Structures are given as structure tokens and as C-alpha cells.
């Protein structure tokens, strides 16, 4: 890490996540419900990413890169599925937490964590069968980061990304004075918002298409935007509004453009 020359944006991200990880490092538990087999929630975007990882698991020889692993919760879940998991993060504190959690959950032999940046990965060419990034592309230089993804991904390998996207109607309203009061956009440790993050927009998707012109997209977050106002955050039961969204996206394809979360699936040819 010390040999890396960080941009001003990366320095701000590093400072933010070093502080954020210290504030949120206690009592971390990894929930394995999405891989327990007790139920499936295809309408939940985060569960859907994990299901995609499960669906593409073939053998324990497969290597998966958790692209921007944070505190390592997802990495541990992927290791429990059976992958050999590699994870990197900009924050040394996050990596320390991930290593402790991997010991706690008995997967330290199948997880490997390093401090690194998305735009310059320290992995060999064509090394991974799968890459998964959760809410990471909107923090980084997309073109450089995807170039690195496709460099380290094996031919035929998949890259799956879970990302918030800009929706003209909703985001235009959010940027009004009332919208900014109701849902603040300023950087905040409490709200987990960094100074430089931004939702993916039209120009970002043009960049993504350069790497896979036929990437597939799954849509989430329409009526379930209201969950943040009406749903207890400690409620672990399925969201009725997420189920409603899944039905609406199937019945009325034209409303997909209003979905605030997308799961992107890219393939290296």
C-alpha cells in the first residue's frame, strides 16, 4: 500500500473508510441465510448476487475475487459456498477485520485479503473464474477498474456488480431542497456516504458496454424505496415491497428504467 500513489479521491475514500471501519468494527456477524437453502429471495438485490455466485459454483478449484471486499462478510459467504476467495480493499482497517472474521468463521484457509486499489490490481492475468463487486463501481474510476477486472478474469468468466443507478425522476426530486432535507446527500459516517461517490449514469453504462456490449441487467428498487421510511431496519423478514417490485418489473418492462438498483452481469469472451 505504501508504494501506491493515491489520487486525491482515493485519499478521501481511504480516510473515510478507516474512520468508518473503526466506528463499526464491533459485534460484526455474517448472516448465512442466503445460502442456507431455507428460502430464496430473488426479489432482494443482495440475495440475488449471492444466488448468482451459487449458481455458477462448480468446484472448489474455482477462484473468486471479491472486488472491494470491505469488512469481508461477502467474502466469507462465498468461501462457505466453496470458492477460494481473494478480497482487496483500500482500507487496512477493513482488511484486518476481514481477516479476523475469516478466522472466526473457519474459512481462513480459503480466503486471502490484501490492501489494494481497484484501478491497479496485484493479481496475475486470467486468474479468476468470477469477480463480484457490491456497491463499488460508483466509488472508483470505472474504465480503469473494469480494465483490471477483464485482465485478471479468465476467458468465459463472469463479473457481477451490484450498483445504485441514477433515475431521472427520483433523483431530480431528491436534488430539490425538500428532497435533500428528506434524504440528505452530504458525506456522512452515520449515513455511510462518502464525499465522492455517485450513482451510475448514462455515461457510465457507455463505458461498461465497451467491455461487454451484451451484458445483462437485473432491476430492483422501485416501490421498495419506501422501505427506508416505513420499515424497521432490524426487520429481517422478506420485504413485501421488494416482492411487488419484482412483479412490476416483469409485468411492466417500461418501469425498469425507474429501478434504483441494478445487478450487472458481464462475461469475458
Residue 268 has phi, psi (to 5 degrees) of -85, 120
Residue-by-residue DSSP string for 15-71: HHHHHHHHHT-TT-----HHHHSS---TTSHHHHHHHHHHHT---TT-EEEEET-TT
* Of 146, 148, 132, 116, nearest in space to 78 by CA: 132
Supply the pLDDT for residue 170: 80
Provide the residue-wise pLDDT of the chain in tens; the chain has 269 residues. Answer: 445 689 999 999 999 999 999 999 888 999 999 999 999 999 999 999 999 999 999 999 999 999 999 999 999 999 999 999 999 999 999 999 999 999 999 999 999 999 999 999 999 999 999 999 999 999 999 999 999 999 999 999 999 999 999 998 888 877 788 777 777 778 788 778 898 889 999 999 999 999 999 999 999 999 999 999 999 988 989 999 999 999 999 999 999 999 999 999 999 99
The CATH code for residues 8-25+38-267 is: 3.40.50.150
Q: Is 244 helix (H, G, I), strand (E, B) or coil?
A: helix
Q: Is 155 helix (H, G, I), strand (E, B) or coil?
A: strand
* Residues in Cβ contact with 110 at an 8 Å cutoff, skipping those fewer than 6 apart: 79, 83, 84, 85
d(CA 142, CA 266): 14
Strand locations in the chain (E) = 63-67, 84-89, 111-115, 128-134, 153-164, 216-220, 261-267
Contact 266, 208 (CB under 8 A): yes
Which residue is associated with the grid cell 467491455? Answer: 211
Supply the pLDDT for residue 136: 97
Amino acid at each position: 500500500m505504501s508504494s501506491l500513489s493515491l489520487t486525491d479521491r482515493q485519499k478521501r475514500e481511504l480516510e473515510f473508510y478507516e474512520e468508518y471501519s473503526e466506528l463499526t468494527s464491533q459485534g460484526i456477524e455474517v448472516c448465512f441465510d442466503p445460502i442456507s437453502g431455507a428460502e430464496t429471495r430473488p426479489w432482494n438485490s443482495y440475495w440475488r448476487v449471492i444466488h448468482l455466485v451459487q449458481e455458477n459454483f462448480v468446484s472448489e478449484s474455482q477462484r473468486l475475487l471479491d472486488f472491494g471486499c470491505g469488512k469481508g462478510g461477502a467474502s466469507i459467504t462465498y468461501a462457505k459456498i466453496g470458492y477460494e476467495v481473494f478480497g482487496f480493499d483500500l482500507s487496512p482497517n477493513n482488511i484486518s477485520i476481514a481477516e479476523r472474521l475469516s478466522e472466526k468463521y473457519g474459512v481462513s484457509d480459503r480466503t486471502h485479503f490484501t490492501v489494494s486499489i481497484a484501478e491497479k490490481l496485484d493479481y496475475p492475468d486470467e486468474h479468476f473464474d468470477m469477480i463480484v463487486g457490491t456497491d463499488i463501481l460508483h466509488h472508483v474510476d470505472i474504465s480503469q477498474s473494469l480494465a483490471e477486472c477483464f485482465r485478471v478474469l479468465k476467458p468465459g468468466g463472469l463479473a457481477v456488480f451490484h450498483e445504485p443507478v441514477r433515475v431521472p425522476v427520483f433523483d431530480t426530486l431528491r436534488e430539490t431542497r425538500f428532497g435533500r432535507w428528506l434524504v440528505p446527500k452530504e458525506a456522512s459516517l452515520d449515513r455511510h456516504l462518502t464525499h465522492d461517490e455517485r450513482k451510475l449514469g448514462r455515461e457510465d453504462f457507455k463505458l461498461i458496454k465497451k467491455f461487454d456490449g451484451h451484458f445483462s441487467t437485473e432491476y430492483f428498487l422501485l416501490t421498495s424505496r419506501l422501505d427506508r421510511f416505513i420499515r424497521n431496519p432490524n426487520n429481517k423478514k422478506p420485504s413485501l415491497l421488494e416482492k411487488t417490485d419484482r412483479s412490476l418489473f416483469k409485468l411492466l418492462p417500461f418501469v425498469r428504467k425507474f429501478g434504483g438498483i441494478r445487478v450487472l452481469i458481464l462475461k469475458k469472451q
